[in-house]
Structure 1
Amino acid sequence: MAPRDSVTAQKIRRQSVGLPHQGHLSAASISPRLTSKADRPQGIKKGQQQHPLRRSARLDRLIEVHELRLKASRQPLPPPASDIKVPDCAHSPPTFLPPKPPKRKREAEQQLEPPSPKRPRTSCPRPSLQDVDSITYWTQTSHWPQGYFHENGEMSHLFARKKSTDSLRRKRSDSESSAPSSTTPSDQKSREEKSAPYRDPRYRILLEAVGSYMDKSELDITKESKALCRDMLTKEQTTPKDSIFSDDVFEKAYRKFQDRNEARVIQDIAQLIVPSAETLATFGAQHLDKLTESINEGWNNSIPVTKRRPQPDYSVGFKRSAFTDDQLKKLQPFVGDLTDNSFFMGTWYMYFPFFSSEVKCGAAALDVADRQNAHSMTLAVRGVVELFRLVKREQELHREILAFSISHDNETVRIYSHYPVIEGKKTMFYRHTIRKFDFTEQDGKEKWTAYKFTKSVYNTWMPAHFKRLCSAIDAIPPDIHFEVLE
């Protein structure tokens, strides 16, 4: 190599070591022009022909890498996506081209020009709407991103579950071995058998172990909920005209069912304490057509909190037909088939139960009824909380009444409301006492109190509750497809 070529190459190498990280890199920055005598290296005469510049393969690679990085830096950065996984291109190693033989100056200038569109893409693809922050996505579309529930897995426990083989085998065995004259359907137990676990006072402790307390919380229900309970207690409602609770026959009728068993109490007065929602709908209350009720039927489609599932004497929830086809489609992954277990079901035909009633005989037996109602309404409240937690709105339910229950015998009534206390991911269930009274005292002055209150639950509280449920169901993404859990 000629001395002048050696000097020029060394100068170029010194300049290439400090390649800039930003800005435009051109051939001029690597091959400075020799425009004046002062700028020309020593030993080069004016008009003397210069030989083409030569560079090492390492310098070629540095220039190539810099061009790739410069192009990547011009791509717009995606917005933050805390809940959505996007392709991780930031940590991909840079693509180094294989060593090439030294090129002439014109070839080097062509190499430094912008790469051809056919060159493999090295930057992350531009993010779509699915890739943006999940909260922003929800505010723009009113539902969560497509991958939201697939990625975090936090809600997988909500999906419907298949009944265990042992449970189905046990039911078949029970139905085959029982005498037809003394049995209830295979998914139910006799009144005596179903009450047995609740007779133990320690059942209260069992409920507390799963976060359900038969007492009010430290803060109790909200002020608005208390005001609502007072209004429902005093709100005037129509009552049956001809019944054993009529003023002229009440005292005489009371003597006949006094000290009788539960079956007699249920036959004579149960529907005068707690009116049937379906009967009221039959007699013209069209807004109650969306309700369904169960009588001494096991909640075998629910997911239990204890070993035994509830079997209330009377319960009320929503029919399948109360919901639109689109809402049912969104609920399907969480409800499953007719034989599956779900957080949102009581019986196979009852969605989101919200009321239960238990009938007993004797003051001590009312404590048993209270435990049964507390168990049933724990599942009812839990289902609503899980629905709202699914759409990130659970705090709307904090200390709000989500269910009611009534325990009564042949003379005493206890009315309760049930509500959740939500602290982050933890939910606890509590009970608020609305009233306890003897409806036979003062010549039956309070005999219609429970009846009117229950109608207020149907007429005043239920429509607002149903609207709230529907708003949460509508917010469920339409693209959730999970297999039913075993």
Structure 2
Amino acid sequence: MSTSPKKQNDRRVEANVRKSRQEFLSLGDKAKQPRRITKPPQEPVRRSVRLRHSCHEWSRNTQHEHRYPSSTKNTAGKEFQSKPPSPPQVNDRKRKRPQDTEEPLHFRAKLRRRSQTFLAAEDTPIQGPASDAAKNEIDPIRNWIQKGYWPKKYFNQDISMSSLLPRKKSTSSLRRKGPSDEKQKEEESAPYVNPRYQTILETKGSFMKKAPVGITDESSLLNKALLNTDQMVPQNSLFRDDLFDTTCEKIQCENEPRVIRDIGQLIVPSAETLATYGATNLEHLVETVNKGWNKSIPFYGPRPQPDYSAGFRRSAFTDDQLEKLKPFIGDWDDTSFFMATDTMHFPFLTCEVKCGEVALDIADRQNAHSMTLSVRGVVELFRAVKRENEVHREILAFSISHDHTAVRIYGHYALVDDDKITFYRHPIHNFSFAALDGKEK
């Protein structure tokens, strides 16, 4: 039975409707899925010769500016990595190149890698030679780059120098209204009367004896030369042959001032008096008589006040030497290692006069204290310039103790052992000028 044309047409319509519905549903499903946007491949960046030259100069200058960071290198390094400097702007009026704005990123990454490499190299310990001395050596430039300060060894000399600076006098010294000799000599000498004062000096590093190693050969030769040199005998003095015995008898039971007046300058002649009589080589010396060493930095106990002392006046030094000494001498109200009084620099001779055998021991203690200060000043001066070995075991000062009959002569020196300084005395001569009819006078 054949199908009518009308039914065939209806079937074709239904088929088309179903097909259209399926296509519509298929399009709806595809619409629900997100679409990807594919970026076309980027063409190579075109660089002109001028742009390449500018970027190269910018990169080189930036590396040069950040080559030596300061002591805050960690902070600066992070900031440098996170915020690099912007590249120079290149103006091109002929054409616009948006892609060229991405150009600095390449250089930033490159510069960041170089900065990290340099900072890592800074943190690497300095590799020295295999020797121990080289291992302990510090490169001052590298130390300053890494740590921001110079090695401490360059300031050790300044520290040692600061210990030599002058110091202010005590309040009691400033309250004294008159010269130092107004204070009673007995009060000044009181601590020296006690034999234990010698023990106290030893605890401070000053010994009234010879050191085990002794003095240098040069100092021994000097002592012999001084003893063997013929001295000029003064004319018309109380030590004249026909007056000598009478003089010794008259001062036998007298006090110190009388002994000093009659025979003091015959035992220890006055340097200034000899200069007045024509000894031009002594014109630069200055002396004191019973004057306190108020300008000297104390060692222990009362300030020295020798019966006689000699040192150098300002004229003994050149202007350049005085200028170098000025920071260590200070003002009038300062004390110094290098001064005894306001006018005496580097005292080198003291004399103490007593009466009686036991009293000479007191004089020896007084001289030991005074000469400790004298030798200390010279040694400290040489230590300040790293030449202390030149005065090691060398006699630097002399002292004389005497009464109405006997004389004791000592030389004073120091032993320098690294930072430790000890003081000793060397007996040069001990004699009685009254014995053997005045042979040793």
Alignment of 1:259 with 2:244, yes or no, is: no
**Counterpart pick for 2:81 among 91, 96, 115:** 96
SS in 2 for 1:343: coil
SS in 1 for 2:408: strand
1:68 correspondence with 2:74: no
Alignment of 1:337-352 (within 5 A): 337-352=331-346
Once the two structures are TM-superposed, the CA of residue 281 in structure 1 deviates from its matched residue by 0.6
Instruction: Letter of the 1:68 partner, please give it.
Output: Q
The RMSD of aligned alpha carbons is 3.6
Residue 223 of structure 1 corresponds to 217
The question of 1:381 aligning with 2:366 is answered: no
Q: Does 1:270 align with 2:289?
A: no
2:44 maps to amino acid: H
**Is there any run of 5+ residues in structure 2 with no aligned partner, and where?**
1-37, 48-54, 88-97, 112-117, 123-138, 141-152
Moved more, 89-98 or 436-445: 89-98
Report the AA paired with residue 81 of structure 2. Answer: F
User: For 1:93 and 1:65, how far apart are their aligned partners in 2?
Assistant: 19
Shift of residue 88 of structure 1? 5.4
| 394, 408, 419: which one aligns with 1:400 | 394
For 1:163 and 1:258, the matched residues in 2 are separated by 40
Between the aligned partners of 1:322 and 1:90, the Cα distance in structure 2 is 55
Query: Residues 186 and 298 (structure 1 numbering): CA distance in 2 closer, same or farther, change over 3 Å?
Result: closer
CA pair 151-315 structure 1, distance change in 2 beyond 3 A: closer
Q: Distance in 2 between matches of 1:313 and 1:419?
A: 21
**1:284–1:152 Cα change, 3 Å:** closer
Question: What SS class does the counterpart of residue 311 from structure 2 fall into?
Answer: strand
Aligned-partner SS, 2:413: strand
Cα distance 1:254–1:152, how it changes in 2: closer, same or farther (>3 A)? closer
- Tell me by how many angstroms 1:387 deviates: 1.1
- 1:201 and 1:281 map into 2 onto residues whose CA distance is 38
Give how far 1:96 is off: 3.0
1:162 to 162, 168, 179: 168
Look up the SS of the partner of 1:281 in the other structure. helix
Classify 1:107/1:186 alpha carbon distance in 2 versus 1 (closer, same or farther; 3 Å).
Answer: same
Q: Kindly provide the CA deviation profile for residues 163-198 of structure 1, in whole angstroms up to 9, marking residues without a partner as x.
A: 2334323x24xx6xxxxxxxxx35652232222110
Correspondent of 1:52 among 21, 45, 48: 45
Q: Tell me, what secondary structure is at the counterpart of 2:253? A: coil
Q: Secondary structure at the match of 2:163?
A: helix
2:410 — aligned with what? 416
Q: Which residue of 2 aligns with 1:304?
A: 298
Q: What CA distance in whole angstroms lies between the structure 2 residues aligned with 1:107 and 1:387?
A: 67
Inter-partner Cα distance in structure 1 for 2:75 and 2:60: 14
Q: 1:202 to 1:66 in 2, by over 3 A?
A: same
Counterpart amino acid of residue 167 in structure 1: S
Alignment partners' CA distance in 2, 1:67 and 1:53: 24
Q: 1:259 to 1:156 in 2, by over 3 A?
A: same
Listed as ranges, the matches of 1:321-332 within 5 Å are: 321-332=315-326
**Partners of 1:339 and 1:348 within 8 A in 2:** no
Taking the aligned partners of 1:91 and 1:388, their CA distance within structure 2 comes to 45
Sequence identity, in percent? 53
The answer (yes or no) to whether the contact 1:53–1:105 under 8 Å persists in 2 is no
| Cα distance, 1:71 vs structure 2 | 8.2
Change (3 A) 1:341 1:71: closer
Q: Give the structure-1-normalised TM-score.
A: 0.63
Residue in structure 2 matched with residue 214 of structure 1 by the alignment:
208
The amino acid across from 2:63 in the alignment is L
The 8 Å contact of residues 337 and 377 in structure 2, kept in 1 or not, is answered as yes
Match of 1:371 in 2: 365
SS at match of 2:160: coil
| CA apart distance, 1:289 | 0.6
The CA distance in 2 between the partners of 1:260 and 1:97, in whole Å, is: 95
Q: Distance in 2 between matches of 1:413 and 1:439?
A: 7
Which amino acid is the alignment partner of residue 251 of structure 2? Answer: F
Q: Partners in 1 of 2:99 and 2:289 — Cα distance?
A: 92
The structure-2 alpha-carbon separation of the partners of 1:245 and 1:423, relative to structure 1 and needing over 3 Å to count, comes to: same
User: 1-side partners of 2:181 and 2:254: how far apart?
Assistant: 28
Partner of 1:452: none
Tell me whether 155-164 or 214-223 shows the greater mean CA deviation: 155-164
**Aligned 8 A contact 1:405 1:416 in 2:** yes
Inter-partner Cα distance in structure 2 for 1:424 and 1:351:
26
CA drift at 1:311: 0.2
Larger Rg: 2
Displacement of 1:424: 0.6
2:237 to 240, 243, 262: 243
Q: What's the offset of the Cα at 1:411?
A: 0.7
1:420 alignment partner, SS class: strand
3-state SS of paired residue (2:347): strand
Map of 1:130-145 to 2, 5 A cutoff? none
Does the CA-based 8 Å contact 1:262-1:359 persist in structure 2? yes
Which of residues 222, 227, 244 is equivalent to 1:233?
A: 227
Runs (5+) with no aligned partner, structure 1: 6-49, 55-59, 76-86, 116-121, 125-131, 134-146, 176-184, 448-486
Aligned length: 344
TM-score by length of 2: 0.69
1:136 corresponding residue in structure 2: none
Shift in CA distance, 3/219, structure 1 to aligned 2, threshold 3 Å: farther
The match for 1:190 is: 184
Indicate the residue corresponding to 1:434 in structure 2. 428
Q: Deviations over 1:28-77 (max 9, x none)?
A: xxxxxxxxxxxxxxxxxxxxxx43299xxxxx9xx96997389849x9xx
Amino acid at match of 1:243: S
Q: Distance in 2 between matches of 1:209 and 1:392?
A: 26
Choose which of 369, 380, 390 in structure 1 pairs with 2:384: 390
Query: How far does the alpha carbon of each residue in 1:184-231 deviate from its partner, in whole angstroms, 9 at most, with x for none?
Result: x35652232222110000010121122111011110111111111111
Bigger relative contact order (CA 8 A; separation at least 6): 1
8 Å contact from structure 1 (residues 65, 96) kept in 2: no
Change in 2 beyond 3 A, CA 1:237/1:371: same
Change (3 A) 1:91 1:413: farther
